[in-house]
Amino acid sequence: MSDKLFIADKVDLLKIKPIFDEIAGKVNNISFIDDDPLQVPHSFSKLQDVEIAAFFSATFAWGQRVTIINKTKELLRLMDNQPYDFIKNHRATDLKSFENFKHRTFQSTDVLYFIDFLHRFYNMNDSLELAFNPNPDQHYNQKQALTYFHNLFFDNSIVPERTRKHISTPAKNSACKRLNLLLRWMVRSDERKVDFGLWKTIPASELMIPLDVHVEKYTRQFGLLTRKQRDWHAVEEITSALRIMNPEDPVIYDYALFGLSTFVGKDNHWL
């Protein structure tokens, strides 16, 4: 990649935007899901099944993508690949099959609490969207939405302490990568049909970038991130720059940043 594109002291968005648009256009393609955890919720059509599959896929989204996909599919098989029906109608004896489930630090205790939360939530609500935007007539703010969801998720006297690490919150300055990823999947909508666009009350313009090590690396190289820590303030800094390039759909550039991490070293003219 040309050194002239790495601008540490001053972001030249007019130079960066065409590059990001081109890469995002190539990566934001339905074939993208073949090797991505997003393929799991794409195997469902019912709104609630998609939501539940997406929630677990995003929750498991650290480590190798093939492992994330396989473990999410394993979990959903334990629900007979009918996650909404299982969440709503399971009996206590049905939960024994989850006793040996594990994905890295996410273990059976965590699964059971997640199932319990979803069971309680769906008994009172039709869509998980309301867990992130309970007042759709008010201005949406993703920091407030994620804080609200975290508090709602753990509003229970029986929360296992070990489960708290699996749902982050901006209130503790976490980057909230996995929750931001879930919201990108469920809110963004375009003709490519990679993201679902099923949650209609949350504006794509207010979404925040899912910040992982790859996004951090390339946003630093392009001068979009100067903060040393990978935290919520870094998410805000990056997203603010992306919003200048595309005010209506800033997190479409998550595809561009993923593409940069994927294509480095390959024969692509933008590198």
List pLDDT tens digits, range 193-206.
999 999 999 999 99
* Residue 179 counted as domain residue: yes
CA 150 to centroid of chain Cα atoms: 15
What per-residue confidence (pLDDT) applies to 264? 54
* Residue 271 counted as domain residue: no
What per-residue confidence (pLDDT) applies to 11? 55
What per-residue confidence (pLDDT) applies to 117? 98
* Mean pLDDT value across residues 41-62: 97
* Residue 80 counted as domain residue: yes
Query: What are 83-96's pLDDT values in tens digits?
Result: 999 999 999 999 99
Given a cut of 80, whether residue 5 has pLDDT beyond it is: no
Domain of 212?
3-263
Query: What are 234-266's pLDDT values in tens digits?
Result: 999 999 999 999 999 999 999 999 998 776 545
* Residue 47 counted as domain residue: yes
Measured CA to CA, the distance from residue 57 to residue 62 in angstroms comes to 10
Largest CA distance in the chain: 62
Please, which residues bridge with residue 107 across strands?
102
* Residue 253 counted as domain residue: yes
Task: Give me the residue label for tokens 């081109």.
Answer: 22
* Mean pLDDT value across residues 107-111: 97
Residue 56 tokens, joined = 């677990």
Residues 121 and 128 sit within 8 Å (Cβ to Cβ)? yes
Measured CA to CA, the distance from residue 58 to residue 86 in angstroms comes to 19
Query: What are 214-233's pLDDT values in tens digits?
Result: 999 999 988 899 999 999 99
* Mean pLDDT value across residues 64-69: 94
What per-residue confidence (pLDDT) applies to 124? 97
For CA atoms 111, 113, 117, 123, give the dihedral sign: positive
Domain total of the chain:
1
What per-residue confidence (pLDDT) applies to 12? 79
Residues 270 and 22 sit within 8 Å (Cβ to Cβ)? yes
Percent of the chain with pLDDT over 70: 93
3-state secondary structure labels for all residues of the chain: CCHHHCCCCCCCHHHHHHHHHHHHHHHCCHHHHHHCHHHCHHHCCCHHHHHHHHHHHHHCCCCCHHHHHHHHHHHHHCCCCCHHHHHHHCCHHHHHHHCCCEECCEEHHHHHHHHHHHHHHHCCCCCCHHHHCCCCCCCCCHHHHHHHHHHHHCCCCCCCHHHHHHCCCHHHCCCCHHHHHHHHHHHCCCCCCCCCCCCCCCCHHHCCCCCCHHHHHHHHHCCCCCCCCCCHHHHHHHHHHHHHHCCCCHHHHHHHHHHHHHHCCCCCCCC
* Residue 269 counted as domain residue: no
* Residue 268 counted as domain residue: no
pLDDT averaged over the chain?
Answer: 92
CA 214 to centroid of chain Cα atoms: 14
